[in-house]
Amino acid sequence: MKVGIVGAGVAGLSAAYDLALAGQQVTIYEAAAQAGGLASGFRDPRWEWPLERFYHHIFTTDQEMIKLTQAIGYRDKLFFRAPVTAQWWNGQGHALFGQPVTLRLPRVGTVALPGLITTALSVLNYPGLSLPARMRMGAVGAYLKYGTRNWRSLEQITASTWTRRVMGEAVYQAFVHPLLEGKFGNHAEEVNMAWLWARLKARSFDLGYFVGGFQGFVNALQSAGERLGVQVYLSTPVTSVQPTATGWQIASAQGTHDYDDLIVTGSPQLLSKLVPQLPPEYLGQLKQLRSMGAVVMTLALTRPLTDGLYWVNMPKDQFPFLALVEHTNFIAPEHYGGDRLVYCGDYLDPDHEYFRLSQEELLERFLPALQRVNPQFDRSWVRATWLHREAYAQPIVPVHHSRNIPPLATPLRGLYWASMSQVYPWDRGTNFAVQLGQQVAAEVLQAHMSG
Ligand SMILES: Cc1cc2nc3c(=O)[nH]c(=O)nc-3n(C[C@H](O)[C@H](O)[C@H](O)COP(=O)(O)OP(=O)(O)OC[C@H]3O[C@@H](n4cnc5c(N)ncnc54)[C@H](O)[C@@H]3O)c2cc1C
């Protein structure tokens, strides 16, 4: 059986690996010059490791990803640590996770407290809320993380309504609203509570990263597939696909090739464009799936920006970006020729002006904000900048979203679609791209076994 795959992101590569393991002949077409899609990296000549275009880490709960690294012999390149995550409040970043707390015990010496306890202490110490509000937030957060799995009832209500009711207005304004607004902009009030539950449920305090970055992992996954016979065409966008008597034909700069099955990864718009002959109701369903884009500027600085903070959630009403991520407070600057790497990132509607402004124009907007983060900051600290933008970066999940999600098998025989829009209730991420790729591979194999 021959399978063609559009897209060498983590989903496409994972599907290819599983199909090849099952003895199928697989070809992947990738538009970009390297594999990895949203998780791919870039490298300055002075860096030892590439860096993700969009900040990335995984969680200890990302089991599919961890198992896959084991399967391809890459587990020893994955490591976990607990960098500091903070919330900006009243002119500074207040640590929420990862701030080490130690106890000095007689005869035992200094002992580091576990992540759960240090997080509870950090939340209880957060100055932007009254003590009762902090305790309520801690108790409800613990219930969501450890006490319920009933996301189907939570998807019937918006996160905004649920958290206001259960956690109180103050907690909503201080923590939940910034998170929702940061990820979903004007759509913040539409997002369902299952999304927030899933974020809390599936995230650990320790964060994972790869020796050689995510690009290192992606390249290893690509090579593992190639060793099993997978053919990967890079810099080869698929220009059209056509149904044939026995399957699908893919057209690209490599010419036209026939396959029994076709898996398209990537956005609903890509699928609609490549396969306009899909039934109108199905195309209508794809159109209903909305998403946010991402705009992320990376700065290489000659000095650290923050006092050891990795991730700072910034209030959108005070800063021109949502996330300030000082990568080199997670991964040592030695891997980047001593550069201090800072991301300024935001999720925005694809028609937002940040998608049109030049890199210089955006930098001018961002520089004053960096000075507010660190009053010592001077633009002479900026050695280089890079700007990455992607229109399809974060699906929007309104109430009853499970009803909107199309299955992986499309109504057309032999055509499958595996995208971030089908990852639910979990928030999309590389772990779920692995799972999705494995799932679509299993469905393709199953369809052939049954007939
Ligand atoms: C700002 C940001 C931060 C993130 N942070 C994290 C994180 O910390 N941890 C985490 O696990 N995940 C994170 N993610 C999410 C993660 O990157 C994605 O969930 C995952 O990479 C999606 O993989 P995919 O294969 O489904 O899609 P994609 O990566 O989008 O892959 C689709 C591929 O199809 C290719 N393609 C498109 N059109 C064509 C065509 N015509 N022909 C051929 N190829 C084509 C694209 O070039 C791309 O390579 C983040 C994403 C963003 C945007």
Average pLDDT of the chain to the nearest whole number: 93
Model confidence band, residue 99 (pLDDT cutoffs 50, 70, 90):
low
Residue type, 69: T
The CA distance from 195 to 386, in Å, is: 31
Calculate how far, in angstroms, residue 432's C-alpha sits from the geometric centre of ligand 1.
11
Residue closest by Cα to atom 48 of ligand 1: 37
The CA distance from 95 to 22, in Å, is: 47
Token representation of residue 181: 């607004």
User: What distances in angstroms separate CA 442 from CA 14, 19, 37, 70, 342, one per listed residue?
Assistant: 11, 8, 22, 20, 40
Tell me the per-residue pLDDT of 26-48, one tens digit each, with 9 for 90 and over.
999 999 999 999 999 999 999 99
Domains recognised in the chain with CATH numbers: 2-77+211-288+403-449 (3.50.50.60), 83-201 (no CATH), 291-395 (3.90.660.20)
Token representation of residue 373: 């983060």
Q: Would the CB of 7 count as within 6 Å of ligand 1?
A: yes
The CA distance from 389 to 160, in Å, is: 28
Model confidence band, residue 129 (pLDDT cutoffs 50, 70, 90):
confident
Number of neighbouring beta carbons within 10 Å of residue 429: 22
92-97 vs 84-89, strand pairing mode: antiparallel
Token representation of residue 168: 């109180």
Cα 242 → chain centroid: 31
For position 394, what pLDDT does the model report? 95
Q: Would the CB of 57 count as within 6 Å of ligand 1?
A: yes
Cα 152 → chain centroid: 23
Model confidence band, residue 350 (pLDDT cutoffs 50, 70, 90):
very high
Residue closest by Cα to atom 13 of ligand 1: 429
Question: Among 335, 341, 329, 340, which residue's Cα sits nearest to residue 296?
Answer: 341
Burial of 234 (0-12, 13-18, 19+ CB in 10 A): middle
The CA distance from 198 to 183, in Å, is: 15
Q: Which residue has the tokens 């690209």?
A: 252
For position 139, what pLDDT does the model report? 85
Model confidence band, residue 117 (pLDDT cutoffs 50, 70, 90):
low
Percent of the chain beyond pLDDT 90? 79
Mean pLDDT, to the nearest integer, of 296-303?
A: 98
Calculate how far, in angstroms, residue 138's C-alpha sits from the geometric centre of ligand 1.
33
Residue closest by Cα to atom 6 of ligand 1: 56
Q: Would the CB of 121 count as within 6 Å of ligand 1?
A: no
**Cβ atoms 265, 35 nearer than 8 A:** no
Calculate how far, in angstroms, residue 416's C-alpha sits from the geometric centre of ligand 1.
17
pTM for the model = 0.93
Q: Would the CB of 427 count as within 6 Å of ligand 1?
A: no
In this predicted structure, which of 73-77, 343-347, 447-451 has the lowest mean pLDDT? 447-451
**Atom number, ligand 1, closest to the C-alpha of residue 38:** 29
Residue closest by Cα to atom 31 of ligand 1: 9
Q: Would the CB of 30 count as within 6 Å of ligand 1?
A: yes
- 369: Cβ–Cβ under 8 A, 6 or more apart, which residues? 314, 319, 320, 321, 344
Q: Which helix (H) or strand (E) holds 386?
A: strand 382-395
For position 157, what pLDDT does the model report? 96
Calculate how far, in angstroms, residue 101's C-alpha sits from the geometric centre of ligand 1.
36
Calculate how far, in angstroms, residue 37's C-alpha sits from the geometric centre of ligand 1.
4
Residue closest by Cα to atom 14 of ligand 1: 429
Which contacts (CB < 8 Å, 24+ apart) does range 151-154 have?
151/194, 151/197, 151/198, 151/425, 152/194, 152/402, 154/192, 154/193, 154/194, 154/196, 154/197
**Atom number, ligand 1, closest to the C-alpha of residue 65:** 11
Calculate how far, in angstroms, residue 412's C-alpha sits from the geometric centre of ligand 1.
24
The alpha helices in 60-206, defined as continuous H runs, are 63-71, 115-125, 131-142, 151-154, 159-167, 169-171, 177-184, 193-201
Phi, psi for 89 (deg, rounded to 5)? -150, 130
